Structure 1
Amino acid sequence: MVVRLEGRSGRGDQDVRTAEPAAVVTGPGGRMSESIVFPYGDPAFVADPYPFYRELREGGPVRRVVTVRGLEAWLVTRYDDAREALTDPRLSNDLRLATDPRLLEQLPAAERDAALRSMIRLDPPDHTRLRRLVSQAFTARRVAELEPRVQEITDRLLDAIAPAGRADLIEDFALPLPVTVISELLGVPPADRDGFQEWTNVMLTQHPDRPDLAAMDRAWRRMWAYLEGLLAAKRTDPDDDLLGALITATDQEQRLDEGELVAMAFLLLVAGYVTTVNLIGNGIAALLAHPDQLKLLRDDPGLLPGAVEEFLRWDGPVDPGVLRVAAEDLEIGGVRVPRGATVIVATAIADRDPGEFPDADRLDVTRPAGAHLAFGHGAHYCLGAPLARLEGRIAIGTALRRLDDLALAVPYAELSRQAGGLRGPHHLPVTFTAA
């Protein structure tokens, strides 16, 4: 049985708490008796899903839900369970283990091929082998060395928009900053960056329930072909960058095959900027919607590192969480999850759990840094977390310092946002005093 709900953020048929009686948690074979539909068609939910998420969490530690394109999943909602699930070896990243074939079939063919070779879809020992190859590029020391360059790029972007008195802080600032940083780190020529941005936008910004799969497949194929050509060019004319180092590992030590190499390049290029754009966009939008928190940061810039952690916790760039597949029967939060089930570890919901974060729905830039799950946990903890933190801190701090009287040009609730996997504003129109 499927129950369509909106929760308190929308205008649904009934309240979440009444949708799944506590006495009827599982049906025959361990299946939950009712599935709750994520209301991606409701603008109120897209603008603010957290009231809906709160009621899901209050209704039980594991909920049966219907997410994008009708995919059914078991949603882990509470912090302690989510943190434990992220390190549980019985929850695999290999999508081929899923009993629901739609998990792979709903992906464009080119994306499906890439997903099965990507580091984020592999378990140890293959995941360990691939992660070790690139981990040295993202250590705290190496990232700290990038700080002057990140600051330089940030200042250059703000120099361009400061005289205008208005800007789209996504298009003009939050997007080009991490794109430039990751491109320089990997060795992507400046002339090629617009192309991969365009393809990535097609791949990642489709409406969750009405995607253009043909367009997505074309974009994936173009990106894959571009990366194959870029890597071939770097073999002919080696350069001192991360892709060059990966090629050396492939050619000399045979630790990456050709497909793994292209998949790794794709992962680093896309993951290296998409979530950082959302971190910056969500953080600035949250501050502008909470003037008291904005004033605290302006008065005490030393709060900024902790504030970045709070932005990640309060409205993180991944929504609702990360995908796993049950490799065997297991129990999560007292609920039996069958082998082959699709499991979503809902980090965005867990990070609002009041059992871990007091007054969890309140944005508080003075909150002591807690162990939020926005970057994951365990072996798959986000490799680029130190770089994302650096870019977020510099971007947000410099924008607050240089853009006086910064304000949203539209109401916070009316910002157009991504939904169904990623969370962040498509555009962030603002006004400020022209420099």
Structure 2
Amino acid sequence: MTNIVDLGELGEGFRRDPHPVYAQLRAHRPVHRVRLPEEDGGQESWLIVGYEEARAALADPRLAKDGTRIGFMSLDEELIGKHLLSADPPQHTRLRSLITRAFTTRRVAELQPRIQQITDELLDTMLPQGRADLIESFAYPLPITVICELLGVPEIDRTEFRKISNDVVVPTSAESLRDAFVRLADYLDDLIESKRDAGPGTDLLSELIRTTAENGDRLSPDELRGMAFVLLVAGHETTVNLITNAVHALLTHPDQLAALRADMNLLDGTVEEALRYEGPVESATDRFAAEPLEIAGVQIEKGEWVRIGLAAADRDPGRFPTPDGFDIRRDSRGHVAFGHGIHHCLGAPLARLETRVALRSLLERAPGLALDGQPGAWLPGVLMRGVRSLPVRW
């Protein structure tokens, strides 16, 4: 009989720093049977903690995302609609093809001047105060402003949207999660309808409404809502954590902070190392075995759930020597913070761009930047990796 590791019973220590637990599990074997915390559903699942096994699993078509194939429908799919994170080929291929027609590399690159402008305005407001919660004053408003402007979300709606989004990503109960999805579905329906009524617009959501493939294929209303959900929620929550975790890592490793200040050519490497060392997503969203398969000698039966531990994989000493060290000169290429394979994060180029701009501007304009007390509580569950607040001074 397989021993089950109850992640929910590991307590505050695990939430604050799960890496020693993952290291202990990984030293035993790369795949374990676990019970997820209540915030993540509380169900039993397989958890992959080894790097090679995780990278292979992320690209393995036998590990599917569309739960309806085994009679399961997630809340987001039930209340929002089919989207990239709940689809398999050929449906996933079709959806990704339609979104990449509008969300191009060029479009992301063209956002840099506006991202810089938003960053400068936020720092203009924050810096005269001498101290602040970095999340509230900077790491949250930057990506939410960027993604809302990109998609055409009115400024008046953004405060309410933040609350709904937070309730979706870090719910306090099953009831609060369902309520958040209901409110989000209603909001997205109204937003899409207003775009249709307004006629041709330049924002990404308006373009998605108009996007048509060569064969005449278009996104259905449910698919549009699902696409807006993924772009809006995943498009800012992860970047908030990435910026915050990167700053936290730098401030708790003064030698690395000094090295970056002395040579801003290390900035790209800093972002990649921050992604590897404390990425914004602790484990990838659920997959299930579409057929029986074996991973590292462990038999996984058809229909069983599988979680791929991104944070665990990126601290595997077999791939990254001295993995618990934060080293901005390390070659961090190959990390799986943004996933791998067909579900590799669509917004990775935008997240990297925003984080580079944010770190450079913050460090250049706040030369005395330092922690101003302990970070807030780490987020519950094993999906997102981040803190609720980060007090800093300069």
TM-score (norm 1): 0.85
- Provide the residue aligned with 1:234 in structure 2: 195
Instruction: Decide whether the 8 Å contact of 1:76 with 1:346 is kept in 2.
Output: yes
SS in structure 1 opposite 2:329? coil
Q: 2:208 aligns with which of 243, 246, 268?
A: 246
1:90 paired to 2:62? yes
Q: Which of 415, 418, 423 is matched with 2:376 structurally?
A: 415
Cα deviation, 1:327-384, whole Å, max 9, x if unaligned, reads 0000111211111110011111010111111111110011123110000001010000
Does the Cα contact within 8 Å between 2:102 and 2:204 map onto a contact in 1?
A: yes
Instruction: Tell me the secondary structure at the aligned position of residue 272 of structure 1.
Output: helix
Between the aligned partners of 2:283 and 2:196, the Cα distance in structure 1 is 40
Is there any run of 5+ residues in structure 2 with no aligned partner, and where? none
Of 226-235 and 151-160, the range deviating more from structure 2 = 226-235
TM-superposed deviation, 1:397: 1.5
Find out whether 1:218 has 2:190 as its counterpart. Answer: no
| Cα 1:138–1:312 shift into 2, 3 Å | farther
Alignment of 1:296-335 (within 5 A): 296-335=259-298
Question: Could you tell me how far 1:54 is from its partner in structure 2?
Answer: 0.5
Q: Which has the larger radius of gyration?
A: 1
1:167 is the counterpart of 2:137: no
Could you tell me which residue of structure 1 aligns to residue 33 of structure 2? 64
Give the 3 Å change call, closer, same or farther, for CA 217–322 of structure 1 in structure 2. closer
Say if 2:45 is the partner of 1:73: yes
C-alpha distance in 2 between matches for 1:116 and 1:243: 16
1:428 is aligned to 390
Paired positions, count? 388
**C-alpha contact 1:98 1:342 (8 A) present in aligned 2:** no
Give 1:86 shift: 0.9
Measure the CA separation in 1 of the matches of 2:357 and 2:103.
17
Pair 360,41 (structure 1): closer, same or farther in 2 beyond 3 Å? closer
Unaligned segments of structure 1, at least 5 residues: 1-26, 28-32
Runs of 4+ displaced beyond 4 Å: none
Q: Summarize the Cα distance change of 1:321–1:236 in structure 2 as closer, same or farther, 3 Å threshold.
A: closer
Question: Once structures 1 and 2 are overlaid, which stretch shifts more, 340-349 or 402-411?
Answer: 402-411
| Shift in Å, 1:96 | 3.0
Deviation at 1:231, TM superposition (A): 0.9
The CA deviation at 1:212 is 2.5
- On the 8 A contact 1:351/1:357 being kept in 2, the answer is yes
Contact 2:81–2:223 under 8 Å retained in 1: no
1:152 maps to 117
Secondary structure of 1:314's counterpart equals helix
Residue 401 (structure 1) aligns with: 364
Residue 204, structure 1, aligned to residue 166, structure 2: no
Among residues 8, 12, 15, which one is paired with 1:46 in the alignment?
Answer: 15
Among residues 218, 235, 246, which one is paired with 1:255 in the alignment? 218
1:281 paired residue among 232, 236, 244: 244
Determine the C-alpha separation between the residues in 2 that align with 1:424 and 1:39.
17
Between 1:37-46 and 1:297-306, the stretch displaced more is 37-46
Q: Distance in 2 between matches of 1:94 and 1:186?
A: 26
CA distance in structure 1 between the aligned counterparts of 2:13 and 2:384, rounded to whole angstroms = 17
Q: Output the CA distance in 1 between the equivalents of 2:282 and 2:332.
A: 21
Question: Secondary structure, in 3 states, of the residue corresponding to 1:51?
Answer: helix
- How far is the alpha carbon of 1:98 from its aligned partner? 4.9
RMSD (CA atoms): 1.8
Q: Does 1:384 align with 2:344?
A: no
Does 2:332 correspond to 1:369? yes
The 3 A distance-change label for structure 1 pair 400 and 98 is: farther
How far, CA to CA, are the matches of 2:101 and 2:208 in structure 1?
Answer: 12
Change (3 A) 1:135 1:254: closer
Cα distance in 2 for residues equivalent to 1:319 and 1:40 = 17
Q: CA deviation at 1:37?
A: 1.1
- Give the distance between the partners of 2:177 and 2:92, measured in 1 at CA: 26
Confirm or deny: 8 A CA contact 1:40 1:419 kept in the other structure: no
Paired-residue identity, %? 48
Partner Cα separation in structure 1 for residue 79 and residue 25 of structure 2: 33
- The 2-side partners of 1:290 and 1:120 are apart by 35
Separation of aligned partners in 2, 1:40 and 1:244? 46
